[in-house]
Structure 1
Amino acid sequence: MSADLNLQGITEEDIAEYLVLTPGFFERHATLLATIQLVSPLGKRVVSLQERQMEMLRDRIKGLEQRLVDMIRNAQDNESLHQRLLGLANTLMLTADASQLPGVLCEVLREQFQVPAVGLRLWGVTQAWAHLPCTEGVSAEVRSLAASLGQPYCGANSGFEAAQWLEGESPGEGLSLAQSITSIALIQLQRSDGRSFGLLALGSPDPARFGADMDTDVLRHLGHLAQSALSRLLG
């Protein structure tokens, strides 16, 4: 049909444009609609125009339903995350003993946020808190890395020193926890003047958990909560 139309100088595009510009065509030729047959994508059978329109409408409705389900799921996930962030903030504020803050922070991240492995290092704390485990083994490289992080880092664990601090369940199978970590998130902790005073590390054996394409908004919120609470330890 297309070839015949081209021989006559009329293309299918010409016909389509004419029908669009002439909305009364099918009103004047109503019987033509009943004779039009199309191939259905379901089984490649021949169906009427009305049946094909119904199939297209059903497909569209299914697509809209799926979008609605996705929106509801995202809203539920966001609400759950919001509640966990509020819970973390509340727990940190209610921790009267400042020396317990590092442990409480890491425990909540592991249990409530379901992060398999968490590590924390702080520097510049007052002498009263210099004995805390989170102040040990802080190298110049770690401080330099923390200072360079304009935003949380997410990606593959390419042998980061921070992976050695991580604490969580043993992976078994003869691997150390650090060896089992394939993805990692690193969050800088800052003083009010912008200087770094700590590095929070989150690790997972799942390479997609802290992938390079991860949205870092939640990690920034975690960092703000952590640095606000841990600033009680600073000199």
Structure 2
Amino acid sequence: MKPEDVAQYLQDHPQFFNEYADLLADIHIPGLHDDKVISINERQVASLRERNRVLQDKLLELISFGEENDAIGEKIHRLTIALLSVSSMSEFFNALYFSLREDFAVPLVAMRLWNIACSDREHVEFTPASQDVHIIAESLSQPYCGNHVADEIQCWFGEGAEHLNSFSMISLNTTRTIGLLVLGSPDAERFYPEMGTLYLKRLGELVCTTIARYDLAETASSEAQDHVTNDQ
């Protein structure tokens, strides 16, 4: 018989050791972590302790994840409050970059915006981006995390670009694609391909919602001006 057959037989006949109870006292097997021979009862106790240790480790891991998510959620909340209070594009950029740098420990951030009606366009974020960048932004259904970005995007970070080893690209979308937010870190494992992107996606949505306030305001102002001009 194969070992699998023995194991299956014992599972199918749980009364076996009731009928052959003396075997429980006579059978001795190796311990879990050494060559010491122990009884089957001792082996069962050792197995239960090992299983309990694994469950305890898993519980501590889940608690750690929960605490980490709570901390990130608190940071997102603080950023939300900060962005609700801004009244200009300058304040928006300052509040966003301060939060990412100080709260989220992201050393370098770059962003390019397009397709929005904003008269306050002296900021570097409104520097025209190439069609390739537009295509990249439009192709991202989820935030990208990895060790490489296009050369043009890496140049957005200026002199600090040479020290960056991992990136996250977040497409900014309202009713259309309006830009690309890029986070950079010298730590190659900070933004890795398998990491979760839920909070990065929420960050992008928060940024887009704030920008949309100015986009809608400028559009409404422009339409009102056109209406006045036409009436005259």
1:181 partnered with 2:172? no
- After TM superposition, the structure 1 = structure 2 runs for residues 195-210 of structure 1, keeping only pairs within 5 Å, are 195-210=176-191
2:136 maps to 145
Change (3 A) 1:12 1:211: closer
Per-residue CA deviation, residues 135-194 of structure 1 (Å, 9 max, x unaligned), is 125333333322332222221224432222237xxxxxxxx4101111111111123x2x
**Please, what TM-score do these two structures have when normalized by structure 2?**
0.83
RMSD over aligned CA atoms reads 2.2
Would you say the 8 A contact 1:129–1:233 is kept in 2? Answer: no
- After TM superposition, the structure 1 = structure 2 runs for residues 1-235 of structure 1, keeping only pairs within 5 Å, are 15-126=6-117, 128-166=119-157, 176-191=159-174, 193=175, 195-234=176-215, 235=218
Q: Which of 216-225 and 27-36 deviates more? A: 27-36
More helix as a share of residues = 2
- Alignment partners' CA distance in 1, 2:7 and 2:152: 65
Change (3 A) 1:11 1:106: closer
Per-residue CA deviation, residues 89-124 of structure 1 (Å, 9 max, x unaligned), is 111001123331122111111111111211112224
**Please, what TM-score do these two structures have when normalized by structure 1?**
0.82
Per-residue CA deviation, residues 11-46 of structure 1 (Å, 9 max, x unaligned), is 655554544444333223322211111011322111
- Alignment partners' CA distance in 2, 1:205 and 1:146: 23
Q: Which runs of 5+ in 2 are unaligned?
A: 219-232
Would you say the 8 A contact 1:102–1:120 is kept in 2? Answer: no
Return the offset for 1:134: 1.7
- Counting aligned pairs with the same residue, the percent is 34
Q: Which of 154-163 and 63-72 deviates more? A: 154-163
- Alignment partners' CA distance in 1, 2:84 and 2:136: 28
Change (3 A) 1:233 1:161: farther
Q: Which runs of 5+ in 1 are unaligned?
A: 1-9, 168-175
Would you say the 8 A contact 2:114–2:128 is kept in 1? Answer: no
